[in-house]
C-alpha cells in the first residue's frame, strides 16, 4: 500500500486535473457533467461528492473493475513490480489443485465428446439436434452454448474417455461416470446436454434434459456437486452475461437453461438462471459483483409466483434492487421470446417490470380479499420484506408507498418494522449494521439520518479527533478527573498528555460504548494499539481489511470539516492559539459523555416507572440523582469553556 500512488491507479481510468492539493475528474460511477470526483494523493483516497462513493486504490479497483480483494492486490502488485509471495502451498493443496485441473480436463473432454455426438452421429442429429431446432435454437446459439447429446447406451462415453487416457477416478469424481457394484455406466444417457460454465468460461458440470417420455425418470438431471461444481455458487449463463450486465446495469434472472438461450437469441444477453437449485444468497452475491439491479422473469403460475417471493426477500437483504416481470398465463420467458419479435420482448420486459412492493401487494391483496385477518397477515408479510432493505432512505420511501397501497398509516408500518428490528438486532453489535430504527411520519426522511443514533454527532466527533489529532499534546489539570472541570488550568498542577490517551481514558473510565458499531470497532482498534503504546495511523485504518471500517474512516477523513467549526457551532472562544485544540477536544469529550449519560438517564427513568418495590425505587432514585450530578458538572464545565 505504501508503493501505491492512487492518482496513477485512477488516472488510468479517469481524466484527472489538478485542483489545489487534490485532483478532480468526472466520476466513473455516476453520470455527471461537472466534475465532483476528487482524488487526494496525500491521503491516498478518492471521494465523489456527487454519488458519495469513496475509498482507497484497492476499493477503486474493486468497484470499477469488479475485482475481488485479492485480485485488486495482485493487480497493484503487478503494476508496481512487487512480487507477491503466495504462501507456499502444501502437498495437500497442490494435490487439490491438481485434482481440480484433472476434473476440468475431464469435463472439457466430455463437452467435446457430447458435441461431436450431437453433430456427427445419426441419432444425435435425428433426436438431439432436431429437439434443439424444434425449440427454435439457431446454429450459432448451439455453438455458443456448446450444447451436446448423450446416446442412450450404458457406458459409451466412459469407455471412450478411458480409452483416451482419462482416469476412472476423475470420471467418477465429476459424476459423469457412476460405479455401482463394480460396474460403470454413464450418468447422462439419452439426454441433450447443457454445459455449465464458470466465470472464466471453463466447463464445470452439465445439465441434461431427457428426450424420451419415460415417466419414472426426471426431466432434468444435473451433474452432482464436486470440487469444481458448487451448485449454490454458480449461475447458468453468467460467463456469457457478465459484461452486458455491467453495461446495462441490470441482470435478468430466469428459471431454466432454455430461457437463457432463447433470450440470448432474441438479443437480451444480460440473463442468467439459477438452474439445479432454488436461488441462493451466494448466487445473488455473484450478480452483485456486476450490478445491483435484478429483474426476475417468471412465468405466471402459482409455483412461479411463490418462488419469486422467497427470491425477492433474499435479494432485498443483499441491499439490491429488485423488479419482477410476470408473463401472461401459459407463457414463459422461453416461449415468449420465441413467439415475439425482439422489440416486443424488450418492450415487454422493460415496460412490464414491476417494482417488488407493487407486485407483492397486488398478488397478496387479491388473495386476502376482504378478510381482515388475512389482510393483517398480508401487511406483516410486506412489512417484513421492506424491513430487509438495508438502506434507510430507500426503506422509508417504501414505507410511504405501502401506507398508500395498503391503506394503513405510516406510524403503524414503522412500529411494525421497529418491532422486527428489535427482535433481529437485540444485543448484537458485531454485524456492522448501523442502528436501523426509524422514526414515524412526515419527518421520516429528515430524521432518518439524525435518528440513526442520538449520539451520532458526538460519536463522530470523538472518532474524528482520534483520527486527526491522536499524537498532539494537551495540558490538563491533574485533578480534572475528580471534578470534570476541564478548564481553567492552574499552572502548578498540570499534566501533559497526548490527545488519544486523554480521550481513551475518559471513555474507558465509565466504560462508555458507541452506539454506531462501526465507530465502536474503530475505537477498539485504536484502543488496542494504544494499550501497546502505539498510535493508530490513518493509513492503517484506511487500508484496513474490513471494508465497513475503511469506508467509514475514508468518509470521515474526506468530509470537509475543521474543529474550528465545532468552536463556532458551540460558541467556544479562546484567546491563545494553542488553547484552541485543547478546548475543542475537552469540549468534544464532555459532549460525548454528557450525551451518553443523558441516554443512560432516559433508560433509568424508563426502568424506574416500572418499579413497584419501594426499596428498589429508592435505590434507583439515588442512582439517578448521582448521574444527574455528574451530568451537571460536565455541563457546567462545558459552559465554562464557552465563557472562557
In the three-class reduction of DSSP (H, G, I as helix; E, B as strand; rest coil), residue 57 is classed as helix
Q: Please, what is the minimum distance in Å from the beta carbon of residue 528 to Zn ion?
A: 34
Question: Please, where are the H alpha helices in 164-301?
Answer: 168-173, 238-248, 257-265, 281-288
Q: Please, what is the minimum distance in Å from the beta carbon of residue 63 to Zn ion?
A: 10
From first CA to last CA, the distance across the chain in angstroms is 45
Q: Which residue(s) pair with 502 in the sheet? A: none
Q: Please, what is the minimum distance in Å from the beta carbon of residue 35 to Zn ion?
A: 10
- Interface residues toward Zn ion, by CB under 5 A: 27, 29-30, 48, 50-51
Q: Which is nearer to Zn ion, 60 or 502 (CB)?
A: 60
In the three-class reduction of DSSP (H, G, I as helix; E, B as strand; rest coil), residue 155 is classed as coil
Q: Which is nearer to Zn ion, 29 or 527 (CB)?
A: 29
Q: Which is nearer to Zn ion, 55 or 333 (CB)?
A: 55
Tracing cell 482416469 back to the chain, one arrives at 167
Report the alpha-carbon distance of residue 549 to residue 103 in Å, rounded.
Answer: 40
Q: Which residue(s) pair with 25 in the sheet? A: 37
Q: Please, what is the minimum distance in Å from the beta carbon of residue 388 to Zn ion?
A: 26
Report the alpha-carbon distance of residue 293 to residue 311 in Å, rounded.
Answer: 13
Q: Half-sphere exposure (CA, 13 Å, Cβ side) for 552?
A: 24
Q: Please, what is the minimum distance in Å from the beta carbon of residue 55 to Zn ion?
A: 12
CA-nearest of 172, 192, 191, 173 to 182 is 172
Report the alpha-carbon distance of residue 3 to residue 129 in Å, rounded.
Answer: 57
Report the alpha-carbon distance of residue 398 to residue 376 in Å, rounded.
Answer: 18
Q: Please, what is the minimum distance in Å from the beta carbon of residue 22 to Zn ion?
A: 15
Q: Which is nearer to Zn ion, 51 or 162 (CB)?
A: 51
Q: Please, what is the minimum distance in Å from the beta carbon of residue 52 to Zn ion?
A: 7
User: How big is the chain, counted in residues?
Assistant: 644
- Do you find a cis peptide bond into 488, omega within 30 degrees of 0? yes
CB 396 within 8 A of CB 449: no
Q: Please, what is the minimum distance in Å from the beta carbon of residue 547 to Zn ion?
A: 18
Q: Which is nearer to Zn ion, 18 or 30 (CB)?
A: 30
Q: Which is nearer to Zn ion, 55 or 207 (CB)?
A: 55
For the sheet with 22-25, list strands across it: 17-19, 22-25, 37-40, 45-48, 54-56
What HEC string does 569-623 produce? HCCCCCCCHHHHHHHHHHHHHHHHHHHHHHHHHHHHHHHHHCCCCHHHHHHHHHH
Q: Which is nearer to Zn ion, 25 or 486 (CB)?
A: 25
Q: Which residue(s) pair with 208 in the sheet? A: 193, 221
Q: Which is nearer to Zn ion, 51 or 574 (CB)?
A: 51
Q: Which is nearer to Zn ion, 51 or 408 (CB)?
A: 51
Q: Please, what is the minimum distance in Å from the beta carbon of residue 270 to Zn ion?
A: 23
Q: Please, what is the minimum distance in Å from the beta carbon of residue 24 to Zn ion?
A: 12
Report the alpha-carbon distance of residue 243 to residue 270 in Å, rounded.
Answer: 8
Q: Which is nearer to Zn ion, 52 or 267 (CB)?
A: 52
Instruction: Retrieve residue 132's grid coordinates.
Output: 434443439
Q: Which is nearer to Zn ion, 13 or 605 (CB)?
A: 13
Q: Please, what is the minimum distance in Å from the beta carbon of residue 619 to Zn ion?
A: 56
Amino acid at each position: 500500500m505504501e508503493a501505491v500512488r492512487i492518482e496513477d491507479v485512477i488516472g488510468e481510468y479517469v481524466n484527472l486535473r489538478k485542483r489545489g492539493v487534490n485532483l478532480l475528474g468526472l466520476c466513473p460511477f455516476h453520470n455527471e457533467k461537472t466534475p465532483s470526483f476528487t482524488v487526494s494523493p496525500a491521503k491516498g483516497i478518492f471521494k465523489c461528492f456527487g454519488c458519495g462513493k469513496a475509498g482507497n486504490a484497492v476499493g477503486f479497483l474493486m468497484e470499477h473493475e469488479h475485482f475481488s480483494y485479492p485480485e485488486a492486490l495482485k493487480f497493484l502488485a503487478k503494476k508496481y513490480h512487487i512480487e507477491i509471495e503466495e504462501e507456499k502451498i502444501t502437498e495437500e493443496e497442490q494435490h487439490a489443485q491438481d485434482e481440480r485441473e484433472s476434473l476440468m480436463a475431464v469435463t472439457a473432454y466430455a463437452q467435446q465428446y457430447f458435441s461431436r455426438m450431437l453433430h456427427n452421429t445419426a441419432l444425435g442429429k435425428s433426436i438431439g439436434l432436431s429437439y434443439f431446432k424444434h425449440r427454435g435454437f439457431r446454429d450459432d446459439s448451439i455453438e455458443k452454448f456448446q450444447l451436446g447429446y448423450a446416446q442412450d447406451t450404458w457406458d459409451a462415453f466412459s469407455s471412450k474417455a478411458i480409452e483416451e487416457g482419462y482416469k476412472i477416478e476423475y470420471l467418477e469424481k465429476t459424476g459423469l461416470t457412476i460405479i455401482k457394484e463394480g460396474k460403470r455406466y454413464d450418468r447422462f444417457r439419452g439426454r441433450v446436454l447443457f454445459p455449465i460454465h464458470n466465470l472464466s468460461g471453463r466447463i464445470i458440470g452439465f445439465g441434461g434434459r431427457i428426450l424420451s417420455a419415460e415417466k419414472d425418470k426426471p426431466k432434468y438431471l444435473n451433474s452432482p456437486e464436486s470440487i469444481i461444481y458448487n451448485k449454490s455458487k454458480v449461475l447458468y449463463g453468467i460467463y456469457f452475461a457478465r459484461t452486458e450486465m455491467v453495461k446495462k446495469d441490470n441482470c435478468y434472472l430466469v428459471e431454466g437453461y432454455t430461457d437463457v438461450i432463447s433470450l440470448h437469441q432474441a438479443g437480451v444477453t444480460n440473463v442468467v438462471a439459477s438452474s439445479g437449485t432454488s436461488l441462493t444468497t451466494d448466487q445473488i452475491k455473484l450478480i452483485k459483483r456486476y450490478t445491483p439491479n435484478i429483474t426476475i422473469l417468471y412465468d405466471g403460475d402459482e409455483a412461479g409466483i411463490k418462488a419469486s417471493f422467497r427470491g425477492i426477500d433474499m435479494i432485498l437483504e443483499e441491499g439490491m434492487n429488485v423488479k419482477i416481470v410476470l408473463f401472461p398465463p401459459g407463457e414463459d420467458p422461453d416461449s415468449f421470446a420465441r413467439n415475439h419479435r425482439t422489440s416486443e420482448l424488450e418492450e415487454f420486459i422493460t415496460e412490464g417490470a414491476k417494482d417488488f412492493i407493487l407486485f407483492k401487494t397486488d398478488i397478496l391483496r387479491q388473495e386476502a380479499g376482504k378478510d381482515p385477518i388475512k389482510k393483517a397477515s398480508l401487511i406483516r408479510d410486506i412489512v417484513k420484506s421492506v424491513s430487509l432493505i438495508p438502506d434507510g432512505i430507500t426503506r422509508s420511501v417504501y414505507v410511504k408507498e405501502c401506507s398508500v397501497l395498503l391503506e394503513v398509516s405510516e406510524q403503524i408500518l414503522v412500529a411494525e418494522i421497529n418491532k422486527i428490528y428489535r427482535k433481529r438486532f437485540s444485543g448484537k453489535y458485531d454485524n456492522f449494521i448501523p442502528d436501523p430504527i426509524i422514526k414515524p411520519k412526515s419527518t421520516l426522511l429528515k430524521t432518518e439520518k439524525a435518528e440513526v443514533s442520538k449520539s451520532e454527532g458526538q460519536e463522530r466527533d470523538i472518532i474524528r479527533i482520534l483520527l486527526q489529532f491522536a499524537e498532539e499534546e494537551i495540558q490538563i489539570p491533574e485533578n480534572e478527573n475528580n471534578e470534570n472541570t476541564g478548564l481553567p488550568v492552574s499552572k502548578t498542577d498540570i499534566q501533559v498528555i497526548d490527545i488519544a490517551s486523554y480521550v481513551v481514558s475518559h471513555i474507558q473510565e465509565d466504560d462508555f460504548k458507541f452506539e454506531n458499531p462501526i465507530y465502536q470497532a474503530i475505537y477498539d482498534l485504536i484502543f488496542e494499539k494504544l494499550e501497546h503504546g502505539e498510535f493508530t495511523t490513518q493509513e492503517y485504518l484506511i487500508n484496513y481489511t474490513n471494508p465497513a471500517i475503511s469506508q467509514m474512516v475514508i468518509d470521515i477523513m474526506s468530509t470537509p470539516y475543521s474543529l474550528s467549526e465545532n468552536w463556532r457551532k458551540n460558541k467556544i472562544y479562546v484567546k491563545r492559539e494553542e488553547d484552541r485544540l485543547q478546548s475543542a477536544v475537552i469540549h468534544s469529550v464532555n459532549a460525548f459523555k454528557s450525551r451518553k449519560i443523558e441516554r443512560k438517564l432516559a433508560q433509568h427513568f424508563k426502568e424506574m416507572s416500572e418499579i413497584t418495590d419501594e426499596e428498589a425505587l429508592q435505590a434507583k432514585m439515588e442512582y439517578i440523582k448521582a448521574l444527574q450530578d455528574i451530568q451537571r458538572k460536565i455541563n457546567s464545565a462545558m459552559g465554562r469553556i464557552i465563557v472562557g
